[in-house]
Amino acid sequence: MIQNAIAKLKTEIEQSKNNQFVQVVGEFLLDHLNKFPQDAEKIMVIDKTVAKSIDELWRVARGRKVGNSAGMYGEEVMAIVFKYFGIESAVTIPVSAAAPVMKAERPDVTTKKTTVDFDVNLDDFL
């Protein structure tokens, strides 16, 4: 079972080379499986994927949005991923520089007026 779960994750990681979120979360799950092989059956659920776990992260982030942005870090991100896969782990996940960070941000599209300290009148040049 563990080998199949690892193969499933590696395949998804390989197929999503341009998606940094799949790469980071997938690698974290691979590391988790190496330490806790009993969770392999949770990864093997057919309709559960790393990409869909990231969709769940975005859904949660949108629910926490303040203004134009929302963010989650480290332990919280992986707790949501674990919950998505049905992994009930009492393991404390260390926050590190490599921990996935989800930040949804929409740029401000409103027009802002600026003040100009420079004032020229055409009459000054005549």
Where do the structural domains in the chain lie, given as residue ranges? 2-125
Residues 55-68 pLDDT 10s? 999 899 888 888 88
For residues 92-112, b (16+ Cβ closer than 10 Å) or e, as one string? ebeeeeebbebeeeeeeeeee
Average pLDDT of the residues in 66-79: 82
**Separation of alpha carbons 105 and 68, rounded Å:** 6
Give the per-residue pLDDT at 122.
Answer: 67
The reply to whether the predicted model has a pTM over 0.75 is: no
